[in-house]
C-alpha cells in the first residue's frame, strides 16, 4: 500500500471529496495541506491505497477538482511528495 495526499483549495471541497470517497468505501483522513505542497492554506485528504487511479476516477466522476495528487515517499527521515496527477 502507498500513501497519497490529495490537495484541495478549501475545506469544503476536501470534506465533500471525503464524503464521496466514503460512499465508495474508500477511507481517508482530512488534514491541512502540507505547506510544502501549496503556498495558500488548503486542506487535503490522506489516502492509503494500491489503486490511486480508482480514487482519482471517483473524484472526477463527482466533478470534484483537486489541486494535485501526490505520493508520499519517506527516505532518510525526510518526506517527499511526488506528483502523480
* β-sheet with 78-83: strand ranges across: 29-32, 43-49, 2-8, 68-75, 78-83
Average pLDDT per consecutive 10 residues, the chain (85 residues; last block may be shorter):
94 95 96 84 92 96 94 93 94
Alpha-carbon distance of 10 to 54, in angstroms, equals 22
Q: What is the pLDDT of residue 68?
A: 93
Instruction: Give the predicted TM-score (pTM) of the model.
Output: 0.92
Domain limits, the chain? 2-83
C-alpha–C-alpha distance, residues 67 and 8, integer Å? 5
**Core vs surface per residue 21-51: b (16+ CB within 10 A) or e:** beeeebebeeeebbeeebeeebbbbebebee
CATH node for 2-83: 3.30.70.2750
- pLDDT value for 38: 76
Amino acid at each position: 500500500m502507498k500513501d497519497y495526499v490529495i490537495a484541495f483549495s478549501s475545506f469544503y471541497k476536501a470534506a465533500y471529496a471525503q464524503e464521496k470517497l466514503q460512499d465508495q468505501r474508500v477511507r481517508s483522513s482530512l488534514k491541512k495541506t502540507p505547506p510544502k505542497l501549496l503556498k495558500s492554506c488548503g486542506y487535503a485528504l490522506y489516502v492509503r491505497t494500491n489503486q490511486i487511479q480508482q480514487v482519482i476516477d471517483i473524484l472526477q466522476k463527482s466533478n470534484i477538482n483537486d489541486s494535485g495528487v501526490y505520493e508520499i515517499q519517506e527516505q532518510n527521515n525526510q518526506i517527499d511528495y511526488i506528483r502523480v496527477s
